[in-house]
Amino acid sequence: MRLLLDSHIIIALLERRLTALDAVIAQLLEAEGNTSLVSVASLWEVAIKSRLGKLQLSVPVARWKSSLTSLGVQILPIETEHVLAEISPELRNKDPFDRLFLGICAAENMRLVTADGALINHPLAWRPFPL
């Protein structure tokens, strides 16, 4: 399964705090046959928050590309199809990154791995058990 990692999942992965986040998610990312990807939009989102002092990281953003690559996580560029993709239902929140992540999942036939309450119940989000 192709998995798009939400920004907080990537932070937990790089900060070596993934098991504290959710053991089921940690198992999902380690399972054979799953491919983990991160959108360049996540890197952008984290870089913004880091530069504004809203996020303290032990792995500097400048090293994220090499760190993610060494963990086998692929970096996905933003494509026109991601931005224009139809998602249903549309999000009620106004976060453009959340909308983009779901657009990527719709366009690329992926599931979003997230613990974000605004996204976790969306049909494009990965769930450990079907609803």
In a domain, 57, yes or no: yes
Token pair 């779901």 in the structure block, residue: 102
In a domain, 98, yes or no: yes
C-alpha distances (whole Å) from 79 to each of 48, 62, 82, 117 are 20, 23, 5, 26
How much is the average pLDDT of 60-81? Answer: 94
In a domain, 131, yes or no: no
Q: How far, in Å, CA of 65 to CA of 110, rounded?
A: 21
In a domain, 77, yes or no: yes
How much is the average pLDDT of 49-62? Answer: 91
Instruction: Write out pLDDT tens, residues 77-103.
Output: 999 999 999 999 989 888 999 999 999
Instruction: Write out pLDDT tens, residues 97-128.
Output: 999 999 999 999 999 999 898 999 999 999 87
CA 54 to chain centroid, in Å, comes to 19
Structural domain boundaries, residue 88? 2-113
- The pTM (predicted TM-score) of the whole model is 0.91
In a domain, 124, yes or no: no
Question: Does residue 82 sit in helix, strand or coil?
Answer: helix
C-alpha distances (whole Å) from 18 to each of 5, 30, 78, 86 are 12, 11, 25, 31
Instruction: Write out pLDDT tens, residues 15-25.
Output: 888 776 778 88
pLDDT for position 131: 45
In a domain, 125, yes or no: no
Cβ 49 vs Cβ 38: under 8 Å: no
Q: What is the CATH number of the domain that holds 18?
A: 3.40.50.1010
Q: How many structural domains compose the chain?
A: 1
In a domain, 118, yes or no: no
In a domain, 126, yes or no: no
pLDDT for position 27: 87
